[in-house]
């Protein structure tokens, strides 16, 4: 299975989160060509703390920015997207559930549109 990831252009959202940081670390260990979408710098994240951030490409931006997503997916010729970005403030997620769902839908739409081109 590790050969599947070898040199595979992989885009990860939520890379500074708990799950994202550990996933990126594993992808790098298997030889994937990882591009991380980073909205906010989180120095205590696994991605930063472990130094894995030095082994990946970083795109600064917000998952809600469709033009940026399209540019990044095209520029890095992404084959796989792992979408882990999420609202971590529970009160905000509960108060704005449709906004959270639109965020997930937006990246799915962009990825599907990019694959059709």
- C-beta of residue 60 within 8 angstroms of C-beta of residue 40: no
Q: What is the chain's percent helix, strand, coil content, to nearest 5?
A: 50, 15, 30
Q: What is the pLDDT of residue 108?
A: 73
Q: What is the pLDDT of residue 48?
A: 93
Q: Please identify every stretch of the chain with a pLDDT value under 50, giving residue numbers as ranges.
A: none
Would the CA dihedral through 85, 100, 63, 7 be positive or negative? Answer: positive
Which residues form the domain of 64? Answer: 2-116
Q: Into how many domains does the chain fold?
A: 1
Q: What is the pLDDT of residue 41?
A: 87
Q: What is the pLDDT of residue 63?
A: 83
Q: What percent of the chain clears pLDDT 70, i.e. is strictly above it? A: 75
Q: CATH number, domain at 91? A: 3.40.50.720
Structure tokens at 78: 């992404």
Predicted TM-score of the model (pTM):
0.82
Q: What is the pLDDT of residue 88?
A: 63
Q: What is the pLDDT of residue 8?
A: 97
């Amino acid at each position: 299975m590790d050969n599947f990831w070898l040199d595979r252009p992989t885009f990860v959202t939520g890379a500074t989160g708990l799950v994202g940081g550990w996933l990126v670390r594993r992808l790098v260990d298997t030889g994937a060509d990882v591009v991380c979408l980073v909205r906010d710098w989180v120095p205590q994240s696994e991605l930063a703390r472990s130094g894995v951030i030095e082994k990946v490409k970083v795109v600064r931006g917000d998952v809600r920015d469709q033009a940026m997503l399209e540019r990044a997916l095209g520029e890095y010729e992404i084959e796989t997207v792992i979408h882990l970005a999420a609202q971590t403030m529970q009160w905000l997620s509960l108060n704005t559930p449709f906004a959270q769902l639109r965020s997930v839908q937006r990246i799915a739409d962009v990825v599907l549109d990019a694959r059709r081109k």
